[in-house]
Structure 1
Amino acid sequence: MPQKPSIPKGTRDFSPTEVSKRNYIIDTIKRLFETFGFQPIETPSFENSETLLGKYGDEGDRLIFKILNSGDFISKVDDVTYSSKNSSTLAPKITEKALRYDLTVPFARYVVMHQNEIDFPFKRYQIQPVWRADRPQKGRFREFYQCDADVVGAYSLLQEVELVQLYDTVFDALGLHGVTIKLNNRKLLSAIAEVIGAQQFLVDFTVALDKLDKIGEEGVKKEMLAKGISEEAIQKAAPLFSLSGKNTERLDVLKDFLRDSEVGVQGVGELEFILNAVADLQLKASNIQLDVTLARGLNYYTGAIFEVAAPEGVQMGSIGGGGRYDDLTGIFGLKDVSGVGISFGLDRIYLVLEELGLFPDSLVTSLDVLCLNFGDKEALTALKLVSTLRRAGLRADLYPTSTKLPKQFKYADKRKVPYVVLLGEKELSEGHFVVKNMHTGEQTTYDLSQPDNFVNEVKG
């Protein structure tokens, strides 16, 4: 007996309705990306390992899917390396490529390789799948789509302001109101580590801090202690873990806390500029919140960092994030090219819209008109009518076989087709067709030579 098929954990099949809903989100995001002046690019699904490894920190590197070399790759491994059973020494000998972890590092590689073809500042968007060897859970998959918008070649903080506006515009278009755009600055994190005397533990400090919403304050302190950060340093930083009040009040606390740190003063100034500019824009769907605990755990951020939280009451991880990375292209040899970008988490946004019932009802309708099949002679005329309806912009189809009518009506009902055309022997001889409105049950007769009357009614 054949084994029941399955798919890898963390991946999914999508039904026609699910694909329609996903395309609705993608089309909305894509349209607004282009409205804001971003241009599309695409990069390969896999990159050379050296392109990806070392760009996301140790935790990120562990989540990269590696691709085995083709052919008899194991025969090329020497006996000492093979018998050591050490994955860190074995991996470089059997794998040279990996599935992309995100779209930002491949974009940096793209900029370096195509720098002579690009007009800077370059605003690009990219909507493609990425892969992470993560533990699957609600809203966290091993294969998922990212929808990225980035600007490279411009240091202006107006780019950050525009990206906040882009977030808000997209969520407003999707009807998703009440989201929170969390904002921090990597310079602040560096300055805090400096002030508390833990500069050498900056990466460990930020990685632990980024987990505050998952493991709580005590969990963060415990992890910091385990990484070698002193109890005294942690106590100095503790008041910032629960910073509250308005953004202006939080800024005042930070100004005082970091007053002796040059980089801290610079970071606070950048945040103040962004928050003041965004306030003038009057966001429609979002509110922006300064969150000093936001770290995002990625090594390449150098300035502002963003993370988007779903509306209150929806149990979901971040539905977007990003930040400034002022020298990411430097890792590939192109120095002093600034960059800032954001990403929309398609899969999590889908789950939020589904939970809140925000998808338009029209998305479940994949067909406007279905012509029933009464036999070969009638079907040929019905096919001509279907062709006319399609040219007029309607989604129309002919049931392929002249099976029993109840079965054909059941098919139309399951596909939620609003209009069913009956074109039998009687209708054919009289030169007309009958349309049944599946919502009201009403039937209307139209002249076969004038189908435009029906088209106009459907289009409203």
Structure 2
Amino acid sequence: MAQKPSVPKGTRDFSPTEVAKRNYIMQIIKHQFGLFGFQPIETPSFENSSTLMGKYGEEGDRLIFKILNSGDFLNKVDEQLFREKDVKVLTGKISEKALRYDLTVPFARYVVQHQNEIDFPFKRYQIQPVWRADRPQKGRFREFYQCDADVVGSSSLWQEVDFVQLYDSVFTDLKLEGVSIKMNNRKILSGFAEVMGAKDQLIDFTVALDKLDKIGQEAVKNEMLSKGISEDAIAKMQPLFEFEGSNDQKLDKLTEMLASSDEGTEGVQELKFIFDMIGAIGLKTAKLDIDITLARGLNYYTGAIFEVTAPDTVKIGSIGGGGRYDDLTGIFGLKNMSGVGISFGLDRIYLVLEELGLFPESVHTGIKVLFINFGEKEALYATQAIAKLRKAGISAALYPDTSKMKKQMQFANKTNVVFTVMVGDQELKDNKYTIKQMHSGQQETVDFEKLKSMLLES
């Protein structure tokens, strides 16, 4: 007996309805990207390993899918390497390419490679799949789409202001209320470490601080102590553990706490500019909040840090994020090219909309009108009408077989057909069509022009 086929863990098949829903989200995101002046680019699904490896830290490198070289690659490897079992060295000999881990590093490669063809500041967006050898769980897959927008070649904070508005516009169009755009600044985190006297322990400090809302104040302090951060240093940061109030109050506290740090003060001023400008412009749906525990992407973010969370009623984690990077293209030799970018988590946004029932009914629609097949003469008459309806932009089809009426109607119901059209002897004689609205069951016999207008208006 043949083994039942399956897909690899962390990947999925998508039904027509699921594809329609995903396209609905992507079309809204694309539309807003265009309105904000971003241009689309695409990069290959796989890159040279040298482009990707070493750009995401040790943990990220482990999650990159490697592609075996073509041909008899094992013959090119020295037997001594096999005996030593050094995975890193051996991998480099048998695999020279890898599936892209994200869209950011390939974008940096693109900018450097095409720098003489690009007008800066360059605003690009990309909506393409990426791959990570991660442990699959709800909202986390091994193959998934990223929807990224970046600006490179400008250090202006107006770009961050624009990205806040972009997030707000997309979630407004998706009718997703209760979204929170959280912001922090890498310079603020560095300022904290400086004030504590633990600048060389920035990562340990921020990793622990990031867990504050999950494990509580005492557990965070104990983790900091275990990493070698002194009790005196932690005591200086006590206000962080009770960091509440409005955004203005938080900014005032940060100004006071980081007064002795030039870098920290600069971070506070940058954050204040963004919040002041957004306060003057206003947001339609999303809420903008300061979150001093936010510490994502510290390996490359140098300024603003974004994270977007779903409404509190949905437990799914972040649905977007990004930040400012001052020298991302420097990894490929192009120095001092400041940029800032954000990403939308398509798969998680899909799950949120599904859970909250926010997909419009129209997204579920299959064929708009199905012509019932009663025989060769009737089918030819129907096909001639179908050709004219398609020319008018109406989704129309003929049931291919002369099956029983009940079977054809059942197919129409199962595939979410909105209207069916029946053509029998009388309709042929009168040059008419009997159209039925599947939801209500109402039907009437009309000429072609009335048929077309009914379908266009519905």
TM-score of the two chains, using structure 2 as the length reference: 0.96
Letter in 2 for 1:361: E
Match of 2:371 in 1: 371
SS in 2 for 1:319: strand
CA distance in structure 1 between the partners assigned to 2:94 and 2:208 by the alignment: 33
Contact 2:186 2:298 in 1 (8 A): no
Letter in 2 for 1:285: T
CA distance in structure 1 between the partners assigned to 2:372 and 2:454 by the alignment: 20
Identity %: 65
Contact 2:433 2:451 in 1 (8 A): no
- CA apart distance, 1:452: 2.1
Residues 369-407 of structure 1, C-alpha deviations (whole Å, 9 max, x = no match): 000001112111111111111111111000001011100
Structure 1 residues 228 and 8: CA distance shift in structure 2, 3 A: farther
Letter in 1 for 2:452: V
CA distance in structure 2 between the partners assigned to 1:255 and 1:118 by the alignment: 39
CA distance in structure 2 between the partners assigned to 1:273 and 1:129 by the alignment: 35
CA distance in structure 2 between the partners assigned to 1:237 and 1:100 by the alignment: 39
- CA apart distance, 1:433: 1.4
Contact 1:241 1:293 in 2 (8 A): no
Structure 1 residues 57 and 213: CA distance shift in structure 2, 3 A: farther
SS in 1 for 2:254: helix
Match of 1:454 in 2: 451
CA distance in structure 1 between the partners assigned to 2:220 and 2:347 by the alignment: 28
SS in 1 for 2:237: helix
SS in 1 for 2:358: coil
Q: Is 2:149 the partner of 1:149?
A: yes
- CA apart distance, 1:229: 3.7
Match of 1:195 in 2: 195
Contact 2:221 2:234 in 1 (8 A): yes
Letter in 2 for 1:453: K
Contact 2:147 2:344 in 1 (8 A): yes
- CA apart distance, 1:196: 1.4
Match of 1:329 in 2: 329
Match of 1:17 in 2: 17
CA distance in structure 2 between the partners assigned to 1:230 and 1:297 by the alignment: 25
CA distance in structure 2 between the partners assigned to 1:175 and 1:385 by the alignment: 37
Match of 1:74 in 2: 74
Letter in 2 for 1:136: P
Q: Is 2:164 the partner of 1:164?
A: yes
Structure 1 residues 237 and 72: CA distance shift in structure 2, 3 A: farther
TM-score of the two chains, using structure 1 as the length reference: 0.95
- CA apart distance, 1:325: 0.5
Where does the alignment leave 5 or more consecutive residues of structure 2 unmatched?
A: none
SS in 1 for 2:326: coil
CA distance in structure 1 between the partners assigned to 2:68 and 2:218 by the alignment: 41
- CA apart distance, 1:98: 1.6
CA RMSD in angstroms comes to: 1.7
- CA apart distance, 1:417: 1.1
CA distance in structure 2 between the partners assigned to 1:226 and 1:196 by the alignment: 16
Question: 1:208-357 alignment to 2 at 5 Å?
Answer: 208-217=208-217, 220-221=220-221, 223-357=223-357
Letter in 2 for 1:295: A
Q: Which moved more, 1:112-121 or 1:195-204?
A: 195-204
Match of 1:386 in 2: 386
- CA apart distance, 1:102: 1.2
Q: Which moved more, 1:391-400 or 1:95-104?
A: 95-104
Match of 1:100 in 2: 100
SS in 2 for 1:151: strand
Question: Any runs of at least 4 consecutive aligned residues in structure 1 with deviations exceeding 6 A, and if so which?
Answer: none
- CA apart distance, 1:59: 2.5
CA distance in structure 2 between the partners assigned to 1:190 and 1:435 by the alignment: 69
Letter in 2 for 1:412: A
Match of 2:112 in 1: 112
Letter in 2 for 1:271: L
SS in 1 for 2:107: helix
- CA apart distance, 1:331: 1.1
Letter in 1 for 2:287: N
Contact 1:432 1:445 in 2 (8 A): yes
SS in 1 for 2:27: helix
- CA apart distance, 1:32: 0.8
Letter in 1 for 2:440: T
Match of 2:177 in 1: 177
Contact 1:55 1:300 in 2 (8 A): no
CA distance in structure 2 between the partners assigned to 1:132 and 1:73 by the alignment: 24
Residues 409-453 of structure 1, C-alpha deviations (whole Å, 9 max, x = no match): 000011121110001233212321111111221221112xxx121
Letter in 2 for 1:253: K
CA distance in structure 1 between the partners assigned to 2:367 and 2:226 by the alignment: 59
- CA apart distance, 1:154: 1.0
Structure 1 residues 242 and 74: CA distance shift in structure 2, 3 A: farther
SS in 2 for 1:101: coil
- CA apart distance, 1:280: 1.1
Contact 1:64 1:100 in 2 (8 A): yes
Match of 1:407 in 2: 407
SS in 2 for 1:373: coil
CA distance in structure 2 between the partners assigned to 1:94 and 1:231 by the alignment: 49
CA distance in structure 1 between the partners assigned to 2:81 and 2:226 by the alignment: 32
Contact 1:207 1:297 in 2 (8 A): no
CA distance in structure 2 between the partners assigned to 1:66 and 1:420 by the alignment: 51
Match of 1:131 in 2: 131
